[in-house]
Structure 1
């Protein structure tokens, strides 16, 4: 059975053209939705992927109608392969996993996607290492400066309440309490 999947990104768009093309290409069962491709929760796609059975072919008009990224595409097609389901794209005849050439092309695309992911991860780790070497640990810069910490500790030593210290320095009571707790922890052996 050929199973078609159609998607448009917004409610103002119409997927009638996709449905017509899928039907003309032999789709016997159709799933369609108006949902952004970036959304992880796409109920019609999930239902479609549950519906297809061994020997079926999932058909889409364009590759971007199905997947958010190359890795997402690979994940979907790998799941289809495990179920014995083929995959075809109308606008790109080379992407047809029911043929030897289509499987080869898809394998190459999947390898490229995997390589890109590895490169991205490597660059990210290099950036983190560089930041650590420069003394940057990530996150937002501390708002409470050493001077403000010293003022909080001094006011507390003078017997001023946490609430009044917070009002004086312009930070929350919990932020002031955290500074005081840290100061106690560093003094206690």
Structure 2
């Protein structure tokens, strides 16, 4: 069975053209959705990938309709391969895992994705090491200084309510409560 997947990024767009092309290419069942490709949760894609069976072929009009990145594409195609499902892209005939050449192209794409991931990880680790060497530990700098903490504790000592303390020091009630709880734990 040929199964199609169509996606557009926003509610204002229409995937009717994609659906028509997929059906013209022989898709007997088409899953479609209006969802950003960057969203991790794409329900129609999940249903589509759960629906396909051994011997089926999943088709899309363009590669970017299916995957967020080369790594994501490799992950999807690997899952399809494990199920014995082929994959084709209508706008790029070289991307067809039902042929030897298509499998080769996907192998090359997978290698590039793996290489990109390794480079990104290496740069990330270098950046972290550099920041640590410069004394930066990451994260957002603390806004509540020791002086503000002392002022919060002093105002609470005068039986002022958390809401009034928050208004006085210019922080949220929850921030004031966290300071008071931390102070109580330290005592």
TM-score under structure 1 normalisation?
0.83
The CA RMSD measured in Å over matched residues stands at 2.4
1:139 maps to 139
User: What count of residue pairs does the alignment treat as equivalent?
Assistant: 181
Output the CA distance in 1 between the equivalents of 2:128 and 2:31: 43
1:187 maps to none
Q: Structure 1 residue runs of 4+, over 6 Å off? A: none
2:176 maps to 173
1:127 maps to 127
> Structure 1 residues 16, 181: CA separation in 2 closer, same or farther (over 3 Å shift)?
same
Residue 20 (1) aligns with residue 24 (2): no
1:117 maps to 117
2:51 maps to 51
1:39 maps to 39
Output the CA distance in 1 between the equivalents of 2:169 and 2:85: 65
| Structure 1 alignment gaps of length 5 or more | 185-189
TM-score under structure 2 normalisation?
0.84
Output the CA distance in 2 between the equivalents of 1:35 and 1:169: 43
Question: Once the 2 structures are TM-superposed, how far is the Cα of residue 33 of structure 1 from its aligned partner?
Answer: 1.6
> Structure 1 residues 43, 150: CA separation in 2 closer, same or farther (over 3 Å shift)?
closer
Output the CA distance in 2 between the equivalents of 1:161 and 1:137: 37
> Structure 1 residues 169, 183: CA separation in 2 closer, same or farther (over 3 Å shift)?
farther
> Structure 1 residues 22, 151: CA separation in 2 closer, same or farther (over 3 Å shift)?
closer
Look up the SS of the partner of 2:94 in the other structure: strand
Output the CA distance in 1 between the equivalents of 2:7 and 2:151: 60
> Structure 1 residues 136, 163: CA separation in 2 closer, same or farther (over 3 Å shift)?
farther
